[in-house]
Amino acid sequence: MNKFNIAVITFAIAAAFSTGASAESMSKKEYDANKNKLGMEYDAAKAKCDTLTGNPKDICMAEAKGALNTAKADLFAVYQPTSKTRQEASIVKAESARAVAKQKCDAVTGNARDVCNKQADAAETAAKGNAEVIRKTFDANATADQKAAEAREEAALDKLEARYETAKERCDAFAGDRKSECLAAAKTTFGKS
């Protein structure tokens, strides 16, 4: 089970730090191969859980299933990198952590169990809320970046137009063919027809 968890954690870290360019280079074939590999790792982890009984087995199964679901969600977020797929991966992680915590809560009784379950629910709610905040922040930043790029482009065009108008004004100092040559040079320089 530890090797499976380490592999999942390693993959999750790699997925978290991957860039859009590397994510875009993952083909459908690579995605499917990685997904199949996760399935095989889950089967191996599940087989180890089968050697246990009672609540330890339930916890082991919840950990194995949670690790599989988390790894699949992370893989999909790498394969199709969007703020929504990253949010969905965070939600799957929260749900998986809650499922494991709930199984661990079964090991205690009475009020301690009730408190344990409430803590598991609260942790899941907090994690889902954080995922929503992160997605909305990412989307807002992307929109702001796009608007800033549009503003820079518009400003660059305005500067270019101002420089063209200045070049045309300089041509007014000339007359005849010299003025025509100056205007033609200004048009060529600033891409005017």
pLDDT tens readout for residues 104-142: 999 999 999 999 999 999 999 999 999 999 999 988 998
Asked whether residue 24 falls in the same domain as residue 112, the answer is yes
- Quote the pLDDT of residue 54: 95
Asked whether residue 83 falls in the same domain as residue 171, the answer is no
Confidence of residue 18 (pLDDT cuts 50, 70, 90): very low
The Cα-based distances of 177 to 169, 171, 180, 182, 183 in angstroms read: 16, 11, 5, 8, 10
Asked whether residue 26 falls in the same domain as residue 114, the answer is yes
Asked whether residue 26 falls in the same domain as residue 118, the answer is yes
- Count structural domains, the chain: 2
Asked whether residue 68 falls in the same domain as residue 163, the answer is no
- Quote the pLDDT of residue 31: 94
Work out the angle at residue 142's Cα, subtended by the Cα atoms of residues 28 and 85, and round it to the nearest 5 degrees.
35
- Quote the pLDDT of residue 171: 93
Asked whether residue 175 falls in the same domain as residue 125, the answer is no
The Cα-based distances of 9 to 88, 92, 140, 160 in angstroms read: 17, 14, 29, 51
Mean pLDDT of 46-65: 96
Confidence of residue 35 (pLDDT cuts 50, 70, 90): very high
Asked whether residue 157 falls in the same domain as residue 117, the answer is no
Residue 6 has pLDDT above 80, yes or no: no
Mean pLDDT of 44-69: 96
Mean pLDDT of 177-192: 93
- Quote the pLDDT of residue 26: 87
Asked whether residue 117 falls in the same domain as residue 180, the answer is no
> Which one is predicted more confidently, 193 or 4?
193
Residue 148 has pLDDT above 80, yes or no: yes
Asked whether residue 89 falls in the same domain as residue 135, the answer is yes
Answer whether 38's CB lies under 8 Å from 68's CB.
yes
Asked whether residue 124 falls in the same domain as residue 100, the answer is yes
Asked whether residue 95 falls in the same domain as residue 134, the answer is yes
Q: Residue 185 belongs to what domain range?
A: 153-189
Work out the percent of the chain whose per-residue pLDDT is above 90: 79
Residue 23 has pLDDT above 50, yes or no: no
Helix (H) or strand (E) holding 133: helix 110-171
